[in-house]
Amino acid sequence: MAVIGSFALLLALALSLYSFLGGIVALVKGDGSERLGETARRAGIATFAAVLLAAVILVVCAFQDDFSIAYILHHSNRNLPGPYKFAVLWSGQEGSLLFWSLLLAAYGFVLRLRYKTDPRLFAYASVVLAGVQIFFLSLLNFAAHPFAIVQGTIPADGNGLNPLLQYPEMVIHPPMLYLGYVGFTVPFAFALGALIMKYPGEKWIHITRRWTMVTWAFLTCGVFLGAHWAYSVLGWGGYWGWDPVENASLMPWLTGTAFLHSVMMQEKRGMLKMWNMWLVFATFWLAILGTFLTRSGIISSVHAFAQSSIGDWFAWFLGITLVVFVFFFIKNKSSLRSEHKLESIVSRESSFLFNNLLFVLLCFTVLWGTWFPKISELVQGNKVTVGAPFYNRVAIPVALLLLILTAVGPLLAWRKTSLESLKRNFMWPAIGAIVVAIFLMITPQSWGSPFGLRPWQDIAYFYSLMAISLSVLVTLTVASEFYRGGRVISKHTGQGMFASMVQLTHRNTRRYGGYIVHFGVVVVIIGFAGAAFNLDKEQEMGNGDKMTIGPYTLICRSYTDDDAPNAASEWAILDVYKGGKYIDTMTPVRKFFKASQQTSTMPAIRSGLNEDLYLVFEGLNPDNGHPIIKAHLNALVMWIWMGVWIMLIGTVLALIPNAPAPVRVPAPARLERAEAAPAVTGD
Amino acid sequence: MSRLNPFSKLGAPLLASFARSGSLRRKATHTLILCAAVFALLGAGDPATRFNDIGHQMMCICGCNQILLECNHVGCPDSDGMRNELMAAVSRGDSDSLVEQSFVQKYGPTVLAAPTTQGFDRVAYIIPFTALFFGCGLIVLVIRTWKNRPAPAIADGLPPVRGAAREQFRDQAGKETDL
């Protein structure tokens, strides 16, 4: 099996090389080399089959416990449950690179099948994709071979999968994240292709936008699944630790989001062509940089699951892509010139410029914080830690400014907005937000809900108050947009308001889908704001002992254990009371994984709209053998997961094509006569 | 009255007139005292709150890269001892900076969860906000430049727009108004 897998990888590399070189020759020669171009396209399609074969073989080897393959030996064991044997594919260095290559080949497969949309542009994009694919397949064949054979005696059992990865979400989190990371190669391929061929018009940006939205949705899903996994498995009570690997996933997300906004400037006004080109490149480049960080060991991280010499390969690849892009940008930037003309500072265009500044600045802050330990070491000879307190001080104020723009931006019209109309549209949402802020400040403090927020007591309360008030502002502006549009349709069609709003959304899915994404974002922000009210407590708890945290009382009923082939488990059984009334029994668990000889805790979580009760069985006190329970009360966490669902629903909605435009009524005759009248711009 | 009025020295008639009003001045004084009290009380707190605050500004040094009070390793060789040290220091009444200094001396600068605001560490905070400042300036400059560009000259009024050209304009208007 290993031989067939190795052969498949070599074949895939050969096909990619052909697709790349054949594609270039066909494009350079132009007319008369259509057949060569077609074979290059088909070689690209065949690459997918070859990489798929290699991936399937690796998974089959995991299921067959073929420990003669070093990768299977190090990442699986006989008693590993089936779904996790499937997850072995992306659990280690070599397998995850194979998985990356597989997804890239799959994206290339779809792209090459859809080539008729614009054969020449797709041919360029296909060549760029093949170039990236060559890099990953070279890595797999020469630096991180997933089918390397174990030398000497083959052990009877494998070392097992990392215990932290033995969790259902780990079967879907990495694929989602990788779909996002890898997917950004496609917009980059189109952008570089369009740049090289000096693509006339904006069609490439329409194609790229849809791919970016799909990829962005995958990355969003991947990032938040990672956060949910950290929350549910790592047992420290949080969901985001600003670890370099977490940051690596956030950076392309931020620039990708900036691109999804600024692309509208290019589509509607033909502006920011160069800037968009750079944003697409930066997003792709940051995705690769994230992989470099994860795998090179250059920056220490909890999640850096593999460290090896492939960091050099990534450094070279990052350098080469930068040089290639800069070369073609300088060579062909004249094709990206556009006549920028703004009619007013108070316009949608201005808000997009500031929006992009803040997204890019947030990305820069995350990048800066990630690299600062290294910079500090170079400058002053000692490393410093850049953890959550740094990001809370620097990134939160910028994020709050972005939230203000999220509220104001949609109310601004293209070209020019009169202050009168801005005041008219903005006044009630602003009053609503101020009323909510005052209400939150003057109400009595109560645990588990954002009441009694005294911003002068703690900076965390100030941020929390600002975040919630601005979220209300955004929600009200989004609601007012739906209401005003729905009212117009309702007036003309006589339909009910809800039906009118549905019709409104269907007429312009992108705009109203985008508003739903914004609403999802504010729900997530409210969830983040809840962190200001978190509580935690640690206590030794013998049978019958009590612990009180917030409104909850925990009583330890007993402890029990269980022995399964893969892992031995110890469970704490705790009865939970709220307001003196029994509500639940929770069982945090501590597992000992036999193959890897590692211990892991699995928290018990009781989620509610107000708060999560989060219990961790930390182990036994070595002095007296008493079990230790740590309890966290985490406010509003469920809002984060709800917000992500709303964001994804909004994105799917935005991808649905618009309903057909209403039939156009011919312009009345008087317009023909009044053609010489100056145009009036307004909202 | 005017001799005692601090605002009149500033030569700002508006402020001076504000200060001449006794009621307003009393309110302003009260507000100032309140603000001073609030800022003076910021950072003060009971030992448990201080323990929690300082403990979240420090890292566990076992290599787990976790905040000290969030380190949840079973049998972690360092975090329990560090927490006990922190609790002892807070109970003694040591100031926040003294506690941090003693931890840095003992465990090295990586024990702090964020760069300090002294020496080269300051750069960590200065750069992002400087970038924000210059970025905003740049955008204002760009907007002003684009706004000041002359509109295309029209020789003899607007030419009549018919047929395909009008459809093109209608499409553009549709795009820009999202209708």
Q: A471 and A525 in contact (C-beta within 8 Å)?
A: yes
Q: What is the pLDDT averaged over residues A14-28?
A: 94
For residues A301, A304, A308, A310, the Cα torsion angle rounded to the nearest 10 degrees is: -110
Q: What is the pLDDT of residue A271?
A: 84
Q: What is the pLDDT of residue B67?
A: 86
Q: Does A31 touch chain B (CB under 8 A)?
A: no
With CB atoms and an 8 Å threshold, state whether A390 touches B70.
no
Q: What is the pLDDT of residue A443?
A: 82
- CA A188, A267, A27 angle in degrees (round to 5)? 40
Residue B37 has pLDDT above 70, yes or no: no
Q: What is the pLDDT of residue A34?
A: 83
Q: Nearest Cβ partner of B72 from A243, A345, A630? A: A630
**Which residue in A has a C-alpha nearest to residue B161's C-alpha?**
A675
Q: Nearest Cβ partner of A676 from B70, B114, B157? A: B157
Core vs surface per residue B105-143: b (16+ CB within 10 A) or e: eebebbbbbbbbeeeebeebbebbeebbeebeeeeeeeb
User: At residue B113, what is the residue type?
Assistant: A
- For residue range B66-112, list pLDDT tens digits in order: 888 887 766 677 888 898 899 999 888 888 889 989 999 998 888 99
Chain B residues with beta carbon closer than 8 angstroms to that of A275? none
**Which residue in B has a C-alpha nearest to residue A590's C-alpha?**
B74
With CB atoms and an 8 Å threshold, state whether A380 touches B111.
no
With CB atoms and an 8 Å threshold, state whether A342 touches B119.
no
CA separation, residue A114 to residues A652, A656, A678 (Å): 21, 18, 45
Helices A244-269 and A173-183 pack at an angle, to 10 degrees, of 40
Distance from CA of B6 to the nearest CA of A (A): 28
Q: Nearest Cβ partner of B67 from A267, A342, A387? A: A387
Chain B residues with beta carbon closer than 8 angstroms to that of A235? 72
Residue A357 has pLDDT above 90, yes or no: yes
With CB atoms and an 8 Å threshold, state whether A387 touches B127.
no
Distance from CA of A28 to the nearest CA of B (A): 35
Q: What is the pLDDT averaged over residues A484-499?
A: 89
Kindly state the percentage of chain B with pLDDT values over 90: 18
- For residue range B110-137, list pLDDT tens digits in order: 899 999 888 899 999 999 999 999 999 9
Distance from CA of B4 to the nearest CA of A (A): 32
Question: In the numeric block, which tokens belong to residue A219?
Answer: 């990355």
Distance from CA of A456 to the nearest CA of B (A): 7
- For residue range A51-81, list pLDDT tens digits in order: 999 999 999 999 999 899 999 998 888 888 8
Q: What is the pLDDT averaged over residues A202-209?
A: 84
Q: What is the pLDDT averaged over residues A180-188?
A: 93
A521 — pLDDT class (breaks 50, 70, 90) = very high
Q: Does A345 touch chain B (CB under 8 A)?
A: yes
Chain A residues with beta carbon closer than 8 angstroms to that of B109? 382-385
A245 — pLDDT class (breaks 50, 70, 90) = confident
Burial class (CB in 10 A: 0-12, 13-18, 19+), B29: exposed
A309 — pLDDT class (breaks 50, 70, 90) = confident
Chain CA centroid to CA A169, Å: 15
Q: A280 and A188 in contact (C-beta within 8 Å)?
A: yes
Phi-psi region at A445: left, alpha or beta (left = phi > 0; alpha = psi -120 to 50) = beta
- Least confident range from A141-145, A561-565, B132-136, B175-179: namely B175-179
Count contacts between A and B (CB, < 8 Å).
152
Residue A117 has pLDDT above 70, yes or no: yes
Chain A residues with beta carbon closer than 8 angstroms to that of B161? 675
Distance from CA of B142 to the nearest CA of A (A): 9
Q: Looking at this predicted complex, what is its ipTM? A: 0.82
Chain B residues with beta carbon closer than 8 angstroms to that of A389? 56-57, 113-114
Task: Look up the pTM and report it.
Answer: 0.85
Core vs surface per residue A633-671: b (16+ CB within 10 A) or e: bbbbbbbbbbbbebbbebbebbeeeeeeeeeeeeeeeee
**DSSP letter for each residue of A45-82:** HHHHHHHHHHHHHHHHHHHTT-TTBHHHHHH--TTS-H
Q: Does A625 touch chain B (CB under 8 A)?
A: no
Q: Using CB atoms and an 8 Å cut-off, which of residues 146-175 of chain B contact chain A? A: 146-147, 149, 151, 157-162, 166, 170, 174-175
Q: What is the pLDDT averaged over residues A146-171?
A: 83
Q: Does B113 touch chain A (CB under 8 A)?
A: yes
Distance from CA of B100 to the nearest CA of A (A): 14
Q: Nearest Cβ partner of B128 from A394, A511, A616? A: A394
Distance from CA of A63 to the nearest CA of B (A): 32
Distance from CA of B39 to the nearest CA of A (A): 8
Q: What is the pLDDT averaged over residues A35-53?
A: 94
Q: What is the pLDDT of residue A90?
A: 86
Helices A637-655 and A203-229 pack at an angle, to 10 degrees, of 160
Q: What is the pLDDT of residue B19?
A: 42
Residue A418 has pLDDT above 90, yes or no: no
Q: Does A413 touch chain B (CB under 8 A)?
A: yes
**Which residue in A has a C-alpha nearest to residue B121's C-alpha?**
A376
With CB atoms and an 8 Å threshold, state whether B70 touches A236.
yes
| Sign of the four-CA dihedral A78, A81, A85, A90 | negative
Q: Using CB atoms and an 8 Å cut-off, which of residues 156-215 of chain A contact chain B? A: none
Q: What is the pLDDT of residue A676?
A: 38
Q: Does A671 touch chain B (CB under 8 A)?
A: no
Q: Nearest Cβ partner of A365 from B128, B151, B177? A: B128
Q: Using CB atoms and an 8 Å cut-off, which of residues 48-77 of chain B contact chain A? A: 56-57, 59, 64-67, 69-72, 74-75
Residue B95, C-beta contacts closer than 8 angstroms, at least 6 positions apart? none
Q: What is the mean pLDDT of chain B?
A: 72
Chain B residues with beta carbon closer than 8 angstroms to that of A618? 72, 74
Distance from CA of A627 to the nearest CA of B (A): 11
Round to whole Å and give the CA distance between A501 and A516. 13
Q: What is the pLDDT of residue B11?
A: 35
What is the residue extent of each domain of chain A? 2-391, 397-532+643-659, 534-638
Mutate to test the interface with B, among A293, A384, A484, A672 (most CBs of B within 10 A): A384
Mutate to test the interface with B, among A206, A234, A236, A673 (most CBs of B within 10 A): A236
> Considering only CA atoms, which of A125, A90, A89 is closest in space to residue A108?
A125
Residue A401 has pLDDT above 50, yes or no: yes
Round to whole Å and give the CA distance between A560 and A587. 10
Q: What is the mean pLDDT of chain A?
A: 87
Chain A residues with beta carbon closer than 8 angstroms to that of B146? 340-342
- For residue range A662-682, list pLDDT tens digits in order: 655 555 544 444 443 333 333
Q: What is the pLDDT averaged over residues A482-496?
A: 89
With CB atoms and an 8 Å threshold, state whether B119 touches A379.
no
- For residue range A504-518, list pLDDT tens digits in order: 899 889 899 999 999
- How many CB atoms neighbour CB A60 within 10 A? 13
Paired sense of beta strands A589-593 and A598-602, if any: antiparallel
| Sign of the four-CA dihedral A223, A227, A230, A236 | positive
Q: What is the pLDDT of residue A674?
A: 42
**Which residue in A has a C-alpha nearest to residue B37's C-alpha?**
A456
With CB atoms and an 8 Å threshold, state whether A393 touches B161.
no
In A53-182, DSSP assigns E strands to: none
Q: Nearest Cβ partner of A618 from B74, B170, B179? A: B74
Q: What is the pLDDT of residue A425?
A: 83
Chain A residues with beta carbon closer than 8 angstroms to that of B57? 389
For residues A636, A641, A643, A649, the Cα torsion angle rounded to the nearest 10 degrees is: -160
Mutate to test the interface with A, among B59, B122, B127, B132 (most CBs of A within 10 A): B132
With CB atoms and an 8 Å threshold, state whether B177 touches A368.
no
Round to whole Å and give the CA distance between A618 and B80. 13
Q: Using CB atoms and an 8 Å cut-off, which of residues 5-44 of chain B contact chain A? A: 38, 42
Instruction: Give the CA count within 13 Å in the CB-facing half-sphere of A253.
Output: 19
With CB atoms and an 8 Å threshold, state whether A353 touches B142.
yes
Q: What is the pLDDT averaged over residues A334-360?
A: 85
Q: Using CB atoms and an 8 Å cut-off, which of residues 508-527 of chain A contact chain B? A: 508, 511
Q: Does A365 touch chain B (CB under 8 A)?
A: yes
B161 — pLDDT class (breaks 50, 70, 90) = low
